[in-house]
């Protein structure tokens, strides 16, 4: 079965988001994905090229249980493994002592998840291996706490090695340079770009912010550094990431603009209500 046929079958089955709700807080850690179409997908080596079917699937959201098949193919991880000088196992074995900054953040990634509460928990051990392997594989890309959130959420839907390669793809191919550096240089550049996008795309929101001298970077830095992990419900985080893996970092800016417009429209409504309140009290 071709990729296009599998994708169309998935869309036709109208899968639900059942299972996502427990990811951020429950007692789940990724198992080998099981889906009625999984074997057909897994046996197909056809690359995921742009298509109407794929575009529609990702915009609608990858069904729970199929990320383990779709994310690695979206990131072309087979080619990444072939091109790499070292396998994931070799990186784990040769990464040396765990980085102190990584150790400090291990329990902060998913504190409410059963597998990420203690240093000896299975999820925390996987998180440690993946983060230190990324550090060894991409030594010049830096590390910050947001990387732990990214990897932690990927470990909920992908097996450990797949989570590593997908993380490497996101960090090296999708995120701006030095995004996770200690100085967060790339992230700060994206914050400035977001502010320009607000001015261009949401002029009324921009006017509202300027009138009240509101600095959106105080809010947006948490959105951008975590890619919304821990900010939005898991089902929404993965929806954003579905599109991000296909269309790039623009998906993060699109969600940021949507949130700003939604939040500030409510603020504007409440401001208007307060202005009219005295008239009703007379």
Digit-coded pLDDT (tens) for 170-209: 999 999 988 988 888 999 999 999 999 999 999 988 888 8
Question: Is residue 175 situated within a structural domain?
Answer: no
Q: How many domains does the chain contain in total? A: 1
Range of the domain at 259: 185-281
Question: Is residue 242 situated within a structural domain?
Answer: yes
Question: Is residue 196 situated within a structural domain?
Answer: yes
CATH number at residue 214: 1.10.472.80
Instruction: Kindly state the percentage of the chain with pLDDT values over 70.
Output: 76
Question: Is residue 204 situated within a structural domain?
Answer: yes
Question: Is residue 89 situated within a structural domain?
Answer: no
Q: What is the pLDDT of residue 11?
A: 52
Digit-coded pLDDT (tens) for 50-78: 666 777 778 778 887 888 888 998 999 99
Q: Where are the alpha helices (DSSP H) in 114-176?
A: 122-137, 145-155, 160-169
Residue-averaged pLDDT of the chain: 81
Distance CA(137)–CA(166), nearest Å, equals: 13
pTM: 0.83
Phi and psi at residue 232, in whole multiples of 5°? Answer: -100, 160
Question: Is residue 169 situated within a structural domain?
Answer: no
Cβ–Cβ contacts within 10 Å for residue 169, how many?
19
Q: What is the pLDDT of residue 222?
A: 92
Question: Is residue 109 situated within a structural domain?
Answer: no
Distance CA(235)–CA(213), nearest Å, equals: 33
CA separation (Å) from 75 to 41, 47, 173, 248? 15, 10, 9, 11
Strand partners, 229: 232
> Locate tokens 């400090």: which residue?
104
């Amino acid at each position: 079965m071709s990729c296009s046929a599998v994708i169309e079958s998935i869309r036709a089955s109208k899968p639900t988001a059942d299972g996502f709700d427990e990811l951020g807080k429950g007692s789940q850690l990724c198992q080998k994905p099981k889906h009625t179409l999984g074997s057909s997908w897994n046996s197909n080596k056809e690359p995921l090229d742009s298509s109407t079917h794929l575009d529609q699937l990702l915009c609608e959201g990858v069904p729970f249980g199929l990320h383990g098949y779709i994310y690695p193919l979206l990131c072309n991880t087979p080619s990444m493994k072939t091109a790499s000088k070292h396998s994931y196992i070799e990186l784990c074995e040769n990464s040396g002592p765990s980085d102190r900054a990584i150790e400090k953040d291990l329990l902060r990634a998913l504190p409410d998840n059963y597998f990420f509460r203690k240093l000896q928990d299975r999820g925390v051990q996987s998180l440690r291996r993946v983060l230190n392997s990324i550090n060894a594989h991409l030594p010049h890309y830096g590390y910050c706490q947001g990387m732990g959130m990214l990897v932690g959420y990927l470990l909920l839907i992908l097996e450990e090695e797949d989570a590593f390669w997908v993380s490497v793809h996101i960090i090296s191919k999708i995120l701006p340079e030095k995004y996770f550096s200690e100085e967060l240089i790339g992230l700060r550049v994206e914050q400035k770009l977001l502010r320009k996008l607000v001015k261009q795309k949401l002029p009324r929101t921009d006017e509202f912010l300027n009138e009240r001298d509101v600095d959106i970077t105080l809010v947006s830095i948490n959105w951008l550094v975590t890619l919304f992990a821990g900010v939005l419900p898991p089902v929404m985080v993965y929806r954003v990431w579905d599109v991000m893996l296909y269309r790039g970092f623009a998906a993060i800016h699109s969600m940021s603009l949507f949130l700003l417009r939604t939040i500030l429209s409510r603020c504007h409504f409440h401001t208007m209500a307060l202005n009219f309140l005295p008239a009703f009290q007379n």
